[in-house]
Amino acid sequence: MLTSYVPPSDDMFLDTEFSSPITDGGVTRSAYRATKADLQAHLAWQAALNARLPAGSDFKLEFPFNGAGVLEAAAQALPPGAFTATLLDIDDRGNCTKARAAGWQ
């Protein structure tokens, strides 16, 4: 009996390139990035699925948010020159030992 299944996903914040451009609603795209509406649709689908499953079932979509793509999107949303990178020094235990602006020695 299957008691737990988590469908894998990765890179939630990165664009996905299409092998061939697609046209949707008059807009042609060569890549797609998940939107707030996509996540809301997933939540609604998940709730509807759980309502149809046997009692005690609990299907959950889990997304790994590793941060890939977040800084790129944030930098693109800001005016040119407004983004200042901050470098973090992380020790072998995962502790941040200091933060410094890019270019500092």
Instruction: Please check whether residue 85 lies inside any domain of the structure.
Output: yes
Structural contact between residues 14 and 68, judged by C-beta atoms closer than 8 angstroms: yes
Question: What is the span of the domain harbouring residue 35?
Answer: 16-101
33 lies in a domain?
A: yes
Tens place of pLDDT per residue across the chain (105 aa): 555 666 566 667 777 777 788 887 888 888 877 788 888 998 899 999 999 999 988 888 777 666 666 666 666 776 665 555 555 556 666 666 655 544 433
Q: What domain count does the chain have?
A: 1
Q: What is the pTM of this model?
A: 0.50
Range list of β-strands (E), 1-105:
16-24, 27-32, 86-90, 96-101
Q: Is residue 59 part of a domain?
A: yes
User: Is residue 4, in this structure, part of any structural domain at all?
Assistant: no
DSSP string, 28-54: EEEEE---HHHHHHHHHHHHHHHHHSP
